[in-house]
Structure 1
Amino acid sequence: MRVEEIDLLKSMWKSRCTRDTILIVPKVVHGRLNISLDNEHWAFHVPYAFRDALDIRYDQRVKKKKKYMVWTQGPILKFKEGDTLKSRDGKTSVQVSSANRMGWDTEKNEMYRGVVIYKKHNIVDGVYTKAGDYLTCQMEFLKLLIYGKNSCRKVSV
């Protein structure tokens, strides 16, 4: 059974976050001509280049004194200014205008969810038309990319 992406990240929220070998994407695929995050079921095309924003890393682990490499997942989303993603249906594009990454707030002893301000564009016949500016947290932005549902607050910028 596959763990829901959002639930996996939330389960990792602790003051001393550890990385997991269960990823929010099914797997990282290394083909001869293509490297992908195998997330074709997501509403937006989020390519391999966004693995840092998703806190996915190729880490060294040790088991029985033998070193090996494995893909790991952390809980800190870091989408940043300039990140641009297009929906799989080709009808929508989002571009991050401004963002703060997630991180552990030691004073409140909870996860700071970060901030993302992004521009949404509708795409018709290859023409991009601005549909608005939106404000949300990093987790809600990830939900938009996975499920395509926009529960983010529209703002004036």
Structure 2
Amino acid sequence: LISRNLSHLKSFALCGDYFPNLTSTGLIALLRLQSLSELSLDYNSSVSNEVLEKITDNLPHLRLLSLAYAGSDATITEEVVMKIGKLKELQTLDVSSLAAITDSSLSTIVCGCSKLQIIRAHCCTYLGNEGVCSLTMLKNLEHVDLSGCLLVGIF
């Protein structure tokens, strides 16, 4: 219904786990909203590898992507999260508490998303100094949140 009748939407949020009938398939249908420039799916357990791949394939003009605490360690892999790097227009990214955010995946995202200004990656258990060092490549970076990343030290 939303993807058919509101095709002009610029911003869409479906945060939280309060949608017991929502599936990955339902989320994928929303990705027909080609005008989206902002997508927030924080705390949404229906986010999966399949959903992330569809986001990166179908919404190349996204400027904001927020996936904080979305999916699970089993449903979002490092390999697929790296595909966020295909979103060349991305300016704001929140990947807080995603186990798939590692030194390697963050570096790959940073290489592809050179317009990033804001990145939130707090409580990313497997993110360390090497991944954080890749942020120096971002010339427009204004805000970084790495609080709770236990492998990040003073460098």
TM-score (norm 1): 0.30
Q: Considering fraction of residues, name the structure with more helix.
A: 2
- From the two aligned structures, give the one with the greater strand fraction: 1
Normalization by structure 2: what TM-score? 0.30
- Greater relative contact order, per chain length (Cα 8 Å cut-off, separation 6+): 1
